[in-house]
Amino acid sequence: MSDRVIVIVGFLVVLVIALGMVVVTHVRRDLIAPLGETIAYLTGNRVARIVAVLVWAWVGWHFLVR
């Protein structure tokens, strides 16, 4: 298995976990905050938004460039 395949599988695992958490938040709203509320809370200030954009750009560059 090549490094590229391992990275793609890793991203797919993260995606499946994120989708699973979205489902759990809709089923048990009292247990975990929904994804939209969590993202709104995390990007509530300017520095956090800038960091989020930089992380997203880094992930996109390293994952989509090939």
Model confidence pLDDT, tens digit, residues 7-49: 999 999 999 998 998 888 888 878 777 778 888 888 888 998 8
How far is it, in rounded angstroms, from Cα 5 to Cα 10? Answer: 8
Per DSSP, helices labelled H in the chain are 3-27, 35-42, 46-64
Q: At residue 61, does pLDDT exceed 80?
A: yes
- Longest Cα separation, the chain: 42
What is the pLDDT, as a whole number, of residue 66?
Answer: 64
pTM attached to this predicted model: 0.51
